[in-house]
Amino acid sequence: MDKTLINIVWLKRDLRLRDHRALVAAAQHQLPVLMIYVFEPSVIADSHYDIRHWRFIWQSIVDLNSQLAAYHSRVIVFFKEAQNAFYQLMEHFHIAGVYSHQEIGLACTYKRDKAIALLLNAEGIGWHEFSHGGVIRGVTNRRNWEQKWHAHMNAQCADQPLNEVNWLAPEKSKMLDNSNVIPEGYKTSDPAFQLGGEKRAWYTLHHFLKERGKAYAYSLSSPTKSRTACSRLSPYLAWGNISTRQAYQFAASKKQKIGWQRAISAFRARLHWHCHFIQKFESESEMEFRPINKAYLAYEYAQGEAKDLNLQAWKNGQTGIPIVDASMRCLNQTGYLNFRMRAMLVSFLCHHLNIGEKERLT
**Residue 22's pLDDT is what?**
98
Q: Which amino acid is at 220?
A: L
Q: Look at strands 75-79 and 93-101 and give their pairing.
A: unpaired
How many helices and strands in the chain, by DSSP H and E?
A: 16, 5
Question: 301-346, pLDDT tens digit by residue?
Answer: 999 999 999 999 999 999 999 999 999 999 999 999 999 999 999 9
Q: Where are the domains of the chain?
A: 4-165, 198-285, 293-352
Q: How far is CA 110 from the centre of its chain?
A: 15
The domain made up of 293-352 has a fold known as DNA Cyclobutane Dipyrimidine Photolyase, subunit A; domain 3 (1.10.579)
Residue 72: is it exposed, middle or buried by C-beta count within 10 angstroms (0-12/13-18/19+)? exposed
* Fold for the domain defined by 4-165: Rossmann fold (3.40.50)
Q: pTM of the prediction?
A: 0.94
> Which one, of 173, 172, 167, lies nearest residue 33 by Cα?
167
Q: What is the mean pLDDT of each run of 10 residues along the chain (362 residues)?
A: 92 98 96 98 95 97 98 97 98 98 94 97 97 88 92 96 96 95 96 97 97 95 94 97 98 94 96 94 89 86 94 97 97 94 95 75 42
Task: Return d(Cα 231, Cα 204) in angstroms, integer.
Answer: 7
In angstroms, how far is CA 97 from the centroid of its own chain?
23
Neighbours of 145 (CB within 10 A): 17
Q: Which residues contact 81 (CB under 8 A, 6 or more apart)?
A: 38, 40, 41, 42, 112
**d(Cα 115, Cα 33) in Å, to the nearest integer?**
23
What pLDDT shows up at residue 362?
A: 41
CA proximity to 236, closest of 32, 60, 75, 39: 60
Residue 227 exposure: Cα atoms within 13 Å on the Cβ side = 12
CA distance 63 to 204: 15
Cα separation of 340 and 278, whole Å? 18
Alpha-carbon span 246 to 248, nearest angstrom: 5
* Matching fold, domains 4-165 and 293-352: no
